[in-house]
């Protein structure tokens, strides 16, 4: 993780750099720092905690050369010393990623005085060990030795040169009228420029005076990269009256579904209309197996996708965590053109997911990615079918999850129609699901009252069956990541195989229970919990409510919809419940501890 920023050009107010860095705060926020050149000196300011601490330290300084960093700790606790930048002689460096061989490099650099516990500090000393007055040459020597994932920017106070390097971790270059603004992502810099170069793996971007060149150390030659003009708009992230971004983003889900569906269903024929390239690709295949690969919330969307593929499209399907699939031995894999891999990632940068996607691409497998961030690695390197959720600021994924569900469902409905299956009843309802979602969001304040009753529990069980099992997993993930309450999610039928031993009056169960063919099985489970003095909070629609209202302690309510659309309407009360519990506890809902929005390390 971590966000990095660099600038070289005519004088700029350091506050502009900090404003840019703040837009990368989603990538990590346990400490921050910057190094800048002024009147021949190199100044470093860094501090544990949020970027806000830095504003006071720099006042309104002007500089022509600066690097800045917001950190998500991997090696070494968050403190002032481990915060970036790290320095060596005239050099200052910020890094995002992990240097896997940092111990060996440290051994080799015995003469250097290491101040921090980070892996990143070895990079700057390593470069310095090769430095004979030319930063570019020294970096080229250093990258031959580094192993792992790294995007870094290093500046030289002697020559006023800047070098940015990309290997696995993201980095983009913004071209200003006079100078260069470098960052971990495009949205953080498009306020200043829309002319962007996205570096590729192995690229070393070097600026001397006002001239730049790009050398690729993997290809061992100078390369040229396209300057992309970014057309897409980002509305500057504002809470628009909501207390938190997460609550705002939950409330945007009706719109996000509508936007993501837009133009992708012919309302007269009720046929799915996929983006041309995706359609042509799917038409060229004869798929009999679909594997979804993702992490976290995106994995839950993939798991729901595997039910869609099996049941709607009639295609054998499974979902895997990318971090697990990465280590599955693939020596017996043969590409038979019959397996489709669907990679899901809102950020489009998650290291584990990207690794597997790249690996399978190299093996010639069939890949479609579903990123939310336009311009991300997954968007650029693969055939992508992007969602249209807009930027999500809250670290807990909410609206991007529902947007992913839309695209996953569309792909499966398309494949079903290709096989001649009649899925028009699902499509008919899908066209209006955004209205149903908006309806649910008109009345959710009662969830705050219910949440207040559950704030002091330390443990929760979340149960659901069939499509409601991944939804229960997603609800539990939301609760644990923002409220720090332990929440176990189980397929309800698995309860009796062990987890039931946990149930007592200190562990409430949240049962995801819209009306469907599982209703009677679910009621039996609830009775089993009640028989062990467990509290039950049931998420119901008007049909299932009739079955359980006298049996359970509290009710969260949603609308009754077709069972394949139930994930869209059941996840929302679960998001709001988790949000309310965290807010009652007075926690930082948008930036929960230890997390970051984009997980670019393994």
Shortest reach from residue 598's CB to ligand M6R, in Å: 6
Taking the complex as a whole, the smallest distance from the CB of residue 525 to ligand M6R amounts, in Å, to 26
Closer to ligand M6R by Cβ: residue 538 or 601: 601
CB of 354 to ligand M6R, least distance (A): 9
Shortest distance in whole angstroms from residue 453 CB to ligand M6R: 24
The residues in 514-533 that bind ligand M6R, with binding defined as CB under 6 A, are none
Of 481 and 563, which has the nearer Cβ to ligand M6R? 481
Distance CA 22, CA 40 (A): 27
Query: If binding is defined by CB under 6 A, does position 395 make contact with ligand M6R?
Result: yes
Question: Distance (Å, rounded) from C-alpha 329 to C-alpha 63?
Answer: 51
Task: Single out the residue of 457, 503, 511 nearest to residue 480, CA to CA.
Answer: 457
Site for ligand M6R in 224-283 (CB under 6 A): none
* Residue 171 binds ligand M6R, judged by CB under 6 A: no
Q: Could you say whether residue 572 binds ligand M6R (CB under 6 A)?
A: no
DSSP characters for 250-314?
Answer: HHTHHHHHHHHHTTSEETTTTEE---HHHHHHHHT---SEEEEEE-HHHHHHHHHHHHHHHHTS-
Candidates 235-243, 379-387, 460-468, 594-602: pick the segment binding ligand M6R (CB under 6 A). Answer: 594-602
By Cβ distance, which residue is nearest to ligand M6R? 296
Structure tokens at 137: 């040459």
Closest CB to ligand M6R among residues 351, 561: 351
DSSP label of 110: T
* Residue 481 sits in the site that holds ligand M6R (CB under 6 A): yes
Phi, psi of 279 (to 5 degrees): -60, -50
- In angstroms, give the least distance from the CB of 322 to ligand M6R: 8
Q: Judge whether 93 and 152 are in contact, CB under 8 Å.
A: yes
Is there a contact between 174 and 181 (Cβ–Cβ < 8 Å)? yes
From 127-135, 213-221, 292-300, 571-579, give the range in contact with ligand M6R by CB under 6 A. Answer: 292-300
Report the nearest approach of ligand M6R to the CB of residue 567 (Å).
15
Q: Please say which residue, 370 or 507, places its beta carbon nearer to ligand M6R.
A: 370
Beta bridge partners of 94: 153
Q: Which of 82, 120, 253, 346 binds ligand M6R (CB under 6 A)?
A: 346
Tokens of 38: 């002024």
- Of the residues 8, 22, 535, 597, only one is catalytic, namely 597
Q: 363-401 burial, b for 16+ CB within 10 Å, e for fewer?
A: eebbbbbbbbbbbbbbbbbbebbbbbbbbbbbbbbbbbb
296 binds ligand M6R (CB under 6 A): yes
Query: Quick check: 295 binds ligand M6R (CB under 6 A)?
Result: yes
For strands 536-540 and 554-557, give the pairing: parallel
Q: To the nearest whole angstrom, how small is the minimum distance from the Cβ of residue 470 to ligand M6R?
A: 13
Query: Is residue 597 annotated as part of the catalytic site, yes or no?
Result: yes
Catalytic residue among 2, 399, 535, 559: 2
Nearer Cβ to ligand M6R (365/474)? 474
From the CB of 156, what's the least distance to ligand M6R, in Å? 34
CB of 212 within 8 A of CB of 180?
A: yes
Residue 347 interacts with ligand M6R (CB under 6 A): yes or no: yes
Name which of 146 and 354 has its Cβ closer to ligand M6R: 354
Which of the stretches 148-156, 266-274, 393-401, 511-519 binds ligand M6R when contact is defined by CB under 6 A?
A: 393-401
- Asked whether position 599 contacts ligand M6R by CB under 6 A, the answer is yes
Specify the stretch interacting with ligand M6R by CB under 6 A; choose among 69-77, 183-191, 247-255, 392-400: 392-400
Residue 253 or residue 544: which is nearer to ligand M6R going by CB? 253
Tokens of 466: 């069939």
Rg of the chain in Å (alpha carbons): 25
Between 399 and 559, CB nearer to ligand M6R: 399
Nearer to ligand M6R among residue 301 and residue 555 (C-beta): 301
Q: Kindly report the backbone phi and psi dihedral angles of residue 403, in degrees, each rounded to the nearest multiple of 5, phi listed first.
A: -65, -40
Does residue number 298 form part of the binding site for ligand M6R (CB under 6 A)? yes
Residue 297 binds to ligand M6R (criterion: CB under 6 A): yes
CB of 401 to ligand M6R, least distance (A): 8
Minimum distance from residue 369 beta carbon to ligand M6R (Å): 10
Question: If we measure between CA atoms, which residue out of 32, 6, 354 comes closest to residue 171?
Answer: 6
In the bound state with ligand M6R, the residue whose beta carbon lies nearer, of 347 and 558, is 347
By CB under 6 A, how many residues form the interface with ligand M6R?
17
CB half-sphere exposure, 176, CA atoms < 13 A: 18
353 binds ligand M6R per the rule CB under 6 A: yes
* Long-range interactions of 419-428: CB distance < 8 A, separation 24+: 419/313, 419/314, 421/312, 421/313, 421/314, 423/312, 424/270, 425/562, 426/312, 426/562, 426/564, 426/565, 427/265, 427/270, 427/272, 428/270
Cβ-defined contacts of 438-446 (< 8 Å, 24+): 438/254, 439/559, 440/558, 440/559, 440/569, 440/572, 440/573, 441/250, 441/251, 441/253, 441/254, 441/572, 444/572, 444/573, 444/576
Distance CA 86, CA 88 (A): 7
CB neighbour list of residue 99: distance below 8 Å, 6 or more residues apart: 105, 119, 120, 122, 123, 146, 147, 148, 150
Q: Which residues contact 596 (CB under 8 A, 6 or more apart)?
A: 1, 2, 26, 27, 28, 29, 72, 395
Please report whether residue 387 would count as binding ligand M6R according to CB under 6 A. no
Contact residue for ligand M6R among 91, 126, 164, 397 (CB under 6 A): 397
419 belongs to the catalytic site: no
Residues serving a catalytic function are 2, 597
List interacting residues with ligand M6R (CB under 6 A).
Answer: 295-298, 345-347, 350, 353, 395-397, 477, 481, 595, 598-599
């Amino acid at each position: 993780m971590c966000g990095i920023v660099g600038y070289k050009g005519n004088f700029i107010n350091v506050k502009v750099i900090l404003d840019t860095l703040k837009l990368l705060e989603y990538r990590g926020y346990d400490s921050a720092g910057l190094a800048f050149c002024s009147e021949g000196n190199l100044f470093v300011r860094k501090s544990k905690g949020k970027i806000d601490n830095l504003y006071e330290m720099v006042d309104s300084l002007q500089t022509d050369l600066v690097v800045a960093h917001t950190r998500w700790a991997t090696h070494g606790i968050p403190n002032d010393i481990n915060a970036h930048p790290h320095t060596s002689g005239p050099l200052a460096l910020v890094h995002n990623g992990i240097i896997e061989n940092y111990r060996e490099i440290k051994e080799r650099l015995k003469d250097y005085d290491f101040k921090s516990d980070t892996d990143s500090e070895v990079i700057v000393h390593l470069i310095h060990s090769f430095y004979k007055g030319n930063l570019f040459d020294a970096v080229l020597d250093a990258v031959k030795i580094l192993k792992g994932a790294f995007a870094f920017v290093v500046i030289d106070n002697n020559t006023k040169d800047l070098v940015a390097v990309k290997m696995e971790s993201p980095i983009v270059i913004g071209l200003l009228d006079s100078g260069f603004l470098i960052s971990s992502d495009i949205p953080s810099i498009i306020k200043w420029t829309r002319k962007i170069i996205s570096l590729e793996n192995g690229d070393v971007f070097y600026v001397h005076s006002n001239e730049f060149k790009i050398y690729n150390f993997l290809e061992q030659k100078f390369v040229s990269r396209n300057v992309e003009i970014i057309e897409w708009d980002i509305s500057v992230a504002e809470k628009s009256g909501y207390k938190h971004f997460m609550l705002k983003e939950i409330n945007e889900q009706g719109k996000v579904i509508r936007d993501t569906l837009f133009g992708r269903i012919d309302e007269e024929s009720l046929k799915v209309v996929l983006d041309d390239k995706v359609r042509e690709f799917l038409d060229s295949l004869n798929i009999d197996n679909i594997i979804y690969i993702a992490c976290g919330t995106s994995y839950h969307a993939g798991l729901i996708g595997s039910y869609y593929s099996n049941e709607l499209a009639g295609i054998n399907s499974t979902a895997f965590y990318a971090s697990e699939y990465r280590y599955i031995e693939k020596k017996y894999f043969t590409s038979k053109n019959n397996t489709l891999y669907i990679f899901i990632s809102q950020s489009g940068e998650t290291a584990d997911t990207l690794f597997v996607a790249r690996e399978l691409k190299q093996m010639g497998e069939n890949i479609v990615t579903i990123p939310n961030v336009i311009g991300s690695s997954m968007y650029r390197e693969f055939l992508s079918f992007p969602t249209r959720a807009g930027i999500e600021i809250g670290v807990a994924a909410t609206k991007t999850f529902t947007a992913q569900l839309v695209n996953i469902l569309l792909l499966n409905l398309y494949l079903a129609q290709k096989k001649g299956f009649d899925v028009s009843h699902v499509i008919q309802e899908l066209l209006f699901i955004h209205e149903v979602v908006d309806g649910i969001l008109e009345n959710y304040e009662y969830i705050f009252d219910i949440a207040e009753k559950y704030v002091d529990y330390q443990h929760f069980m979340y149960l659901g069956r069939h499509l409601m099992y991944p939804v229960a997993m997603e609800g539990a993930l939301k609760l644990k990541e923002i409220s720090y309450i332990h929440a176990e999610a189980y397929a309800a039928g698995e309860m009796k195989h062990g987890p039931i031993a946990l149930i007592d009056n200190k562990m409430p169960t949240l049962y995801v229970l819209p009306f469907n063919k599982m209703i009677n099985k679910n009621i039996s489970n609830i009775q089993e919990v009640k028989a062990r003095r467990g509290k039950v909070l049931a998420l119901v629609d008007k049909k299932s409510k009739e079955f359980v209202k006298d049996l359970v302690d509290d009710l969260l309510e949603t609308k009754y919809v077709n069972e394949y659309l139930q994930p869209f309407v059941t996840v929302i009360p679960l998001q709001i419940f988790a949000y309310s519990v965290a807010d009652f506890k007075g926690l930082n809902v948008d930036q929960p501890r230890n997390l970051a929005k984009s997980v670019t390390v393994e």
